[in-house]
């Protein structure tokens, strides 16, 4: 169960030498509406503005909207990564996130060592990690490269390692920002198959993407966000059709 009641997130911005300088690093990754006019040295980005919705266990919620609409901010608020300025958030269940997948990666260590390090972001259970290492190694298809420092990996190999780790840990609630790029079409088909299985096993999904056809594939309801506010919510087909109509008109 996920409940947002009148949730607002304000992020301060400090002006220095006549130019905007984000004192709070959160502000670098959000859109929203800027308040504070003229020569005031302090302004605020309202990243989410009075957002309310509820998602029952088993719900599949898609988020659509332009860049800066608030999709990623909402996802990270569900995951407990952003503090709220007003309102209430309730999230019941273990959360599995799919953003910043490279957190904890150490270039000088081998792929195998990095599997164990990055896995600690998902679980503190050392036995669970030990049990999953073989399946992660097999899924990533890195062969003998698994024993080499990841600094020697190509971008595609690194993506396979990171995605292989991420797709082997479960949660009651999946929180996903865009789809995962991990190499050639054959491997991406494998990735999508695993993602679909994880979605089937999870109780709840919150998924943001610019690709509305994928939102329709995985979700039953949708929120259309615009400048941090909900512009429309309801059936995924109706919401994505309405969003597309604005794209066609522009």
% of residues, the chain, pLDDT over 70: 83
Looking at the structure, tell me whether residues 102 and 197 fall in a common domain. Answer: yes
pLDDT of residue 38: 52
Report the CATH number that the domain containing residue 185 is assigned in CATH: 3.40.50.300
> Who's near 168: CB < 8 A, 6+ residues apart?
132, 135, 136, 139
Domain of residue 6 covers 2-93+208-249
Query: Total structural domains in the chain?
Result: 2
Instruction: Please check whether residues 16 and 70 belong to one and the same domain.
Output: yes
Instruction: Give residue-wise pLDDT tens across range 78-99.
Output: 999 899 999 999 999 888 888 7
Residue 203 burial by CB count (10 A; 0-12/13-18/19+): exposed, middle or buried? middle
Closest listed residue to residue 112, CA positions, set 164, 154, 155: 164
Whether 13 and 89 map to the same domain: the answer is yes
Domain end call among 180, 202, 224: 202
What value does the mean pLDDT take over residues 43-71? 93
Instruction: State residue 34's pLDDT score.
Output: 59
Residue 41 vs residues 27, 34, 120, 137, 141: alpha-carbon distances, Å = 16, 13, 41, 51, 52
Of 163, 180, 202, the one marking the end of a domain is 202
103 and 197 part of one domain: yes
131 and 154, same structural domain?
Answer: yes
> Among the three residues 185, 202, 219, which one is the final residue of a domain in this structure?
202
Average pLDDT score over residue span 56-81? 93
């Amino acid at each position: 169960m996920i409940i947002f009641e009148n949730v607002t997130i304000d992020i301060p911005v400090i002006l220095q030498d006549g130019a905007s300088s984000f004192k709070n690093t959160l502000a670098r990754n959000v859109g929203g509406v800027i308040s504070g006019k003229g020569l005031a040295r302090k302004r605020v980005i309202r990243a989410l503005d009075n957002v309310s919705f509820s998602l029952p266990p088993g719900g599949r919620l898609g988020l659509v909207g332009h860049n800066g609409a608030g999709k990623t901010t909402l996802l990270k608020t569900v995951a407990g990564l952003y503090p709220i300025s007003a309102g209430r958030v309730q999230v019941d269940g273990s959360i599995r996130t799919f953003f910043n997948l490279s957190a904890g990666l150490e270039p000088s260590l081998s792929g195998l060592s990095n599997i164990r390090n990055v896995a600690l972001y998902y679980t503190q259970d050392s036995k669970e990690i030990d049990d999953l290492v073989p399946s992660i190694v097999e899924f990533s298809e890195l062969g003998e490269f698994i024993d080499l420092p990841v600094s020697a990996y190509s971008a595609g190999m690194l993506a396979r390692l990171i995605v292989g780790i991420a797709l082997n840990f479960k949660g009651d609630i999946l929180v996903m920002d865009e789809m995962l790029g991990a190499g050639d079409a054959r491997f991406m088909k494998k990735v999508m198959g695993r993602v679909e299985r994880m979605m089937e096993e999870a109780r709840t999904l919150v998924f943001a993407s610019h690709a509305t056809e994928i939102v329709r594939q995985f979700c039953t309801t949708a929120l259309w966000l615009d400048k941090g506010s909900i512009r429309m919510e309801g059936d995924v087909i109706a919401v994505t059709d309405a969003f597309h109509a604005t794209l066609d008109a522009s």
